Amino acid sequence: MWRTLFVAALLVLAGCATDAPGTGADADGSADHRHRALTSEDAPNRPNPWGERELTVAIDNTANESRNFRPLVADALDFWANNSTRFAGFSIGYELDPDAPNPDVVVEFVEEIESCANVSEPAGCAPYVHDSGQVSRPISIEVVGSYSNDSTRLILKHELGHTLGLNHSAGPQSVMAPSSQLSTLPRPNATDRRLPWADADFTVYLAGNDTEDTPAVREQVRRGLDYYAGGADGTVPENVSFSFVDNRSEAEVVVVFGDDLPCRTGDTGSCGRVRGIDPDGDGALERYDDLRITISGIDTPAVGWHVGYWLGYGFGFEEDPEWPAPFRNATYEQRRSDWWTER
């Protein structure tokens, strides 16, 4: 079977500028008149915007009460305590006190970040602190709490870098780049979920040669869709629905009629491909976003069966027993019968 894995692109690591006199911010959160990176030559001459050498850091965890974020925050603080002089131009130290009553910085672990400098779905957000006028204690750093330990460390280092005045072009780029490859905590794979899609309402587009326009072929495709909309003998959720669209870019399910099969040699048969996201980086999709069914050289009475078979693949079926009965080891004749009436 033909399957395509799309590894999730990393969500944006963002910073934002505080509303201080004389500074503006562009979309990536950098002050507009200080967009260049600090260099090793000018870094030692830069004043400490905090006005003190040790900052107290507290933790506010509203994302996952069972998860201990303290070691991850400590690692990120140690990184900047050891590297602030080199990259930020001044020495800084930290005291980590999760319940500090009057901290300088609060690291907030949240389920999602509602707003951050017009960045879509940021993984973290922090103010850009370049001079003393931008320090308003306590300064808050927001971090989405669903990422893996390694990714959370990177997010924390990145956002803490903003609180030291570093923008997205500053070093070290392994930390301060505006986007990176992140992974979440382990999630159930799509094949382990009853509905491996974002929702149960599917849009469908028919593509290819002229055969998809014939009423008989369209009726066959509809047989496959209706079978699953009816629950497919209890193998899929009861609220599944399908609707045809005229724009291919709007479709989640695309049925292609053509002369070539992308999954095999020869010009007779069918193929299925799913695409989606792999946020936990385990090499398996956790959610499907697209199903493409390719049909070539199949006579019209069997089209519905082939569509129905690959719809099962799109619902995460892998082993033969998982498919509804009409799709298990069906013979040539059974594929051309009224299979949709079988229960």
The span from the CA of 308 to the CA of 220, in Å, is: 10
Q: What is the pLDDT of residue 118?
A: 76
The span from the CA of 249 to the CA of 172, in Å, is: 39
Closest by CA position to 130, among listed 161, 165, 88, 104: 165
Q: pLDDT band for 73, please (50, 70, 90 cuts).
A: very high
Q: What is the pLDDT of residue 210?
A: 55
The average confidence (pLDDT) of the chain is 85
For 76, other C-beta atoms within 10 Å of its C-beta total 27
Q: What is the pLDDT of residue 33?
A: 25
Q: pLDDT band for 206, please (50, 70, 90 cuts).
A: very high
pLDDT (mean) for 211-219: 78
Q: pLDDT band for 39, please (50, 70, 90 cuts).
A: very low
Q: pLDDT band for 101, please (50, 70, 90 cuts).
A: very high
Could you tell me the pTM of the whole model?
0.71
Amino acid at the residue 152: T
Question: Nearest 5 degrees, angle CA 87-CA 88-CA 93?
Answer: 105
**pLDDT surpassing 60 at residue 5:** no
Amino acid at the residue 39: T
Q: Which pLDDT tens digit goes with each residue over 115-149?
A: 887 788 899 999 989 887 788 889 999 999 999 99
Amino acid at the residue 95: E
Q: What is the pLDDT of residue 12?
A: 46
Residues in a beta bridge with 274: 291
**pLDDT surpassing 60 at residue 37:** no
**pLDDT surpassing 60 at residue 60:** yes
Q: Which pLDDT tens digit goes with each residue over 142-181?
A: 999 999 999 999 999 999 999 999 999 999 999 999 888 8
- The kind and range of the H/E element at 273 are strand 269-277
Better pLDDT: 26 or 268:
268
**pLDDT surpassing 50 at residue 41:** no
**pLDDT surpassing 50 at residue 30:** no
**Weakest mean pLDDT among 145-159, 201-215, 270-284, 321-335:** 201-215
Q: What is the pLDDT of residue 44?
A: 53
pLDDT (mean) for 180-197: 93
Q: pLDDT band for 25, please (50, 70, 90 cuts).
A: very low
3-state DSSP: the chain helix, strand, coil percent, rounded to 5?
Answer: 30, 20, 50
Beta strands in 40-185 (DSSP E): 54-61, 93-96, 105-110, 124-125, 127-128, 139-144
Q: What is the pLDDT of residue 7?
A: 30
**Weakest mean pLDDT among 27-36, 67-76, 126-135, 309-318:** 27-36
The span from the CA of 263 to the CA of 126, in Å, is: 47
Q: What is the pLDDT of residue 236?
A: 96
Q: Which pLDDT tens digit goes with each residue over 278-328?
A: 999 889 999 999 999 999 999 999 999 999 999 999 999 999 999 999 999
CB 20 within 8 A of CB 34: no
CB 96 within 8 A of CB 74: yes
